[in-house]
Structure 1
Amino acid sequence: MHRLPASEPGKRECQACLTADRTWTRLVVCLTCGWVACSDESPGGHAKAHYEETDHPVVGALDPGSTWRWCYVHRRTV
């Protein structure tokens, strides 16, 4: 079993949405580097854009107590 290194989430806001004066539906955190971005359900979809730029494959929910994780490579929850 491969384990991802622990990363601390950044600010609980999507910087790309703030710059574009957009709102987000939900925020997720990159489990590789801690980058926080809006989810695919949000108009910007900046978390997926982060994956496409960096190849960081797994994001997690920022919701308190959530264990939800999404893998962009396999396009499924993990």
Structure 2
Amino acid sequence: MSNDTVIDPSVPPSGAGCVECDAAGGWWFHLRRCALCGHVGCCDSSPSQHATAHYRATGHPVVRSFEPGEEWFWNYETDELYESGPELAPPAGHPADQPVPGPAGRVPADWARALNR
């Protein structure tokens, strides 16, 4: 993966959860972090799919999983998965005590029915 224009390892993540879901009081299933600007958005299985929306709005094609212990990258532009890549500015994932789905207190009891498949 060439990272000359799609990854900036010095940029920290935008927060511990999906920026847009947090602003709207929503919830997410898994989180993705933009490898260029640090934007944290929810995955495509989440109801709002903010990580993909960020790619479409900005053209930033590469995300990294923001789940603790996961190091893979995804390139939306080429539909390619990379098992690893450069180290990004910490933290590498959301807080370990943050539940999945999350965040605590905002996930509906029937959350699995709201997932995109």
TM superposition outliers: structure 1 runs of 4+ over 3 Å: none
Structure number having the greater strand percentage: 1
TM-score normalized with structure 1 length = 0.87
Take 1:20 and 1:5, find their aligned partners in 2: how far apart are those partners?
A: 28
- C-alpha deviations, 1:23-68, integer Å up to 9, x for none? 1001110000000110111000000000001000000011223111
Alignment length (residue pairs): 78
- Report the counterpart of residue 67 of structure 1 in structure 2: 71
- Give unmatched runs, 5+ long, in structure 1: none
Take 1:52 and 1:19, find their aligned partners in 2: how far apart are those partners?
A: 19
Task: From the CA coordinates, give the structure whose radius of gyration is larger.
Answer: 2
Residues 1:5 and 2:17 aligned together: no
- Give unmatched runs, 5+ long, in structure 2: 83-117
Please provide the CA RMSD for this pair.
1.5
TM-score normalized with structure 2 length = 0.60
